[in-house]
């Protein structure tokens, strides 16, 4: 999944990027409010991690502009201040969760997983569709209880589709979520990747809708 990180502190930003990439997320990062607003308004992200104390435009203004223009991806707000009034303002402005600094990286990752699940209508960190189980905490995909050996990109593909069950996901959207800014519009990389994943999950899990995209059916979805 593709995450937008907006953080101007170099050390904190580097630590978060390392943690996100180790958890198989694709990360785009910016350090200034104006650029954050533009990227969030023009690119597709699964979620954003947004610091409030930014140069050029503060994070609260960025969040309000995103919501005013209809951008509804989940947003985890970071702040060094963390007063209750500021948290209320952030939530009223459209933040999905709030994390005051300093924080443990494990908590940031857990909160990110939680807002991604809530966006998909899921309460459990385990998503089950038929014989396939996605464990978002362990970053593991199993078939009939047997863990599958997936590459990071294969895992990201399965995770994104299973977070959007019942929806046909366009190939371009998948490419952006899997590759970020470096994806090639004319490349067949997604098609090749889907073929590899089908061989591991089984041929009937991912459906191809020619000219539209790929689908994991919502039927039989459950939690533990």
Closest listed residue to residue 73, CA positions, set 179, 171, 177, 218 = 177
Q: Kindly state the greatest CA–CA separation across the chain.
A: 52
166 and 206 Cβ atoms separated by less than 8 Å: no
How confident is the model at residue 85, as a pLDDT? 74
Q: Domain containing 48 — which CATH number?
A: 3.40.50.2300
Q: Domain containing 210 — which CATH number?
A: 1.10.10.10
208 and 194 Cβ atoms separated by less than 8 Å: yes
Q: Identify whether residues 92 and 136 lie together within a single domain.
A: no
Q: Identify whether residues 55 and 133 lie together within a single domain.
A: no
Q: Identify whether residues 115 and 141 lie together within a single domain.
A: no
pLDDT classification of 181: cutoffs 50, 70, 90: low
Number of domains the chain is built from: 2
- Domain termination site, one of 80, 102, 119: 119
User: Per-residue b/e over 70-103, b at no fewer than 16 CB within 10 Å?
Assistant: ebebbbbbbbeeeeeebbeebeebbbbbbbeeee
Q: Give the global pTM.
A: 0.79
Lowest pLDDT segment from 20-24, 69-73, 154-158, 174-178: 174-178
- Domain termination site, one of 82, 101, 119: 119
Q: Identify whether residues 68 and 170 lie together within a single domain.
A: no
Q: Identify whether residues 111 and 130 lie together within a single domain.
A: no
Q: Identify whether residues 103 and 136 lie together within a single domain.
A: no
DSSP letters, 128-151, are EETTEEEETTTTEEEETTEEP---
Q: Identify whether residues 77 and 166 lie together within a single domain.
A: no
* pLDDT tens digits, one per residue of 16-65: 999 999 999 999 999 999 999 999 999 999 999 999 989 889 999 999 99
Q: Which residue range is the domain that position 55 belongs to?
A: 2-119
């Amino acid at each position: 999944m593709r995450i937008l990180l907006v953080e101007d502190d170099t050390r904190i930003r580097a630590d978060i990027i390392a943690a996100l990439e180790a958890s198989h997320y694709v990360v785009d990062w910016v350090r200034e409010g104006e650029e954050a607003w533009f990227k969030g308004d023009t690119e597709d992200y699964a979620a954003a991690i947004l610091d409030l104390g930014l140069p050029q435009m503060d994070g609260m203004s960025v969040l309000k502009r995103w919501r005013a223009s209809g951008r509804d991806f989940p947003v985890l707000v970071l702040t060094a201040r963390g007063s209750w009034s500021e948290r209320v303002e952030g939530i009223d402005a459209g933040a999905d969760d709030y994390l005051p600094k300093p924080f443990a990286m494990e908590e940031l990752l857990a909160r990110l997983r939680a807002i991604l699940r809530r966006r998909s209508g899921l309460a459990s960190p385990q998503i089950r569709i038929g014989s396939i189980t996605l464990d978002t905490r362990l970053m593991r995909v199993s078939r009939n209880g047997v863990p599958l050996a997936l590459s990071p990109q294969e895992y990201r593909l399965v995770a994104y589709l299973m977070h959007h069950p019942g929806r046909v996901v366009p190939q371009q959207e998948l490419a952006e979520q899997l590759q970020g800014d470096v994806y090639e519009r004319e490349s067949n990389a997604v098609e090749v990747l889907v073929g590899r994943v089908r061989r591991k999950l089984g041929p009937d899990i991912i459906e191809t809708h020619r000219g539209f995209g790929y689908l994991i059916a919502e039927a039989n979805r459950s939690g533990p």
